[in-house]
Amino acid sequence: MKIQQGTRDASGKWQHTDVASSLKAPLVLVFSNRFLLEDESIFTQLRAQFPDGHLVLGSTAGEITGTNVLSDGLAYTAIEFEKSAFEIVSASILEQNKESFATGKVLAERINKNGLKHVFVLSEGSFVNGSELINGLSSVLDTDIAITGGLCGDDARFEKTLCGYNQPAKEGEVVLIGLYGDSLEISFANYGGWFSFGPERLITKSSGNVLYELDHRPALDLYKKYLGDKASELPQAALLYPLSVQFEHKKNPLVRTILNIDEDTNAMVLAGDAPEGSRVNLMMATVDGIVDGASEAAKRAVEHRNSPPELAILVSCVGRKLVMHQRVEEELEEVCEVLGKNTTLTGFYSYGELAPFADDRICELHNQTMTLTLISE
């Protein structure tokens, strides 16, 4: 595996590592501030850098390159697989009437499943129900094919997210990267480090990822009561106080971030499903808890590996970044400490993370976690 990385900062300055190297038809992961991706000249410059590259682009709430986090910039990682292969397909959720399950199913039907070992998903993060996207993928893919990935972001603005494959990024796109080859070793894990507080509530009315009532009371009214003065800052303020949802049929609770609110119906739009009958707690975090969570995620990801990872794709939640503020790079340093300096780190801060728990292969949508996908040939 050959890897080349580069960045473009807010001032427009490009920096490339090992610019003399010539990668053959590489997979190029491009994570960027949304405003940069709206400038089509950026795509033109990346295409000039990688004429035969497979460019996968996504907007973020922060770009990860090594142990650095960029703001208002762009980071790319170009990967040439020497012993294995990849295939990429894309679909628009807008062309599927914003139906996330249908979009996932279409993607899974398009990907070549002969020898498929793993899929990585980069999805728009504005319209998608991440849980249903996973369900759509899983309805077609074999159960032994693990799924990881993340939902694109837009800092804490929640205006729109962009994604694309081999064309300028646009709204509504979902990209699926299939990885193939017996030489590949891929492991993954996720962990949060957040803790619950306050009384447990029962979801008494919901529809998919729209939460209407807790304990037969309007969910948004109850949530605003807890936020107090911060309620005027919704939905951004919700990133600091996500929900822990214990599903009736799942062993582990799942964290759900509030992506938007509906004042007319007193409802909250979540990043993934929160079915009626589930138990809910509010959550919060400390900087130390988040840093320890990142370290724990890395330890779980390497626990059963046979070889050191060459590439680590990190997807961490925008809520973690907001809590950490200027200390955000500490969680990356903890990951690097566990994985070792020979592992190349790339990734982004997201609106949702996709991964199985470390002891499972069933993919789930997470929020407020550090998720790792570790790859070596």
Query: Mean pLDDT, consecutive 10-residue segments, the chain of 377 residues?
Result: 93 79 92 96 95 97 96 95 97 95 98 97 94 96 96 92 98 98 95 91 94 94 87 83 89 86 90 92 91 95 95 96 92 97 97 86 91 97
**Location of structure tokens 């249908």:** 102
**Location of structure tokens 């949530």:** 223
> Which ranges of the chain does DSSP label H, i.e. alpha helix?
34-37, 40-49, 100-110, 130-138, 219-227, 287-302, 318-324, 329-339
Report pLDDT for 19: 59
Predicted confidence (pLDDT) per residue in 199-248, tens digit:
999 999 999 999 999 999 999 998 898 888 888 888 778 888 889 999 98
Spell out the SS3 assignment of the chain.
CEEEEEEECCCCCEEECCCCCCCCCCEEEEEECHHHHCCHHHHHHHHHHCCCCEEEEEECCCEEECCEEECCCEEEEEEECCCCEEEEEEEECHHHCCCHHHHHHHHHHHCCCCCEEEEEEEECCCCCCHHHHHHHHHCCCCCCCEEEEEECCECECCCCCCEEECCCCECCEEEEEEEECCCCEEEEEEECCCEEEEEEEEEEEEECCEEEEECCEEHHHHHHHHHHHHHHHCCHHHHHCCEEEECCCCCCCEEECEEEEECCCCEEEECCCCCCCCEEEEEECCHHHHHHHHHHHHHHHHCCCCCCCCEEEEEEEHHHHHHHHHHCHHHHHHHHHHHCCCCEEEEEEECEEEECCCCCCCCEEECCCEEEEEEEC
Report pLDDT for 174: 98
Whole-model pTM over 0.85: yes
**Location of structure tokens 């002969």:** 114
Q: Are 28 and 56 in contact (CB under 8 A)?
A: yes
Report pLDDT for 21: 65
Predicted confidence (pLDDT) per residue in 287-339, tens digit:
999 999 999 999 999 998 999 999 999 999 999 999 998 999 999 999 999 99
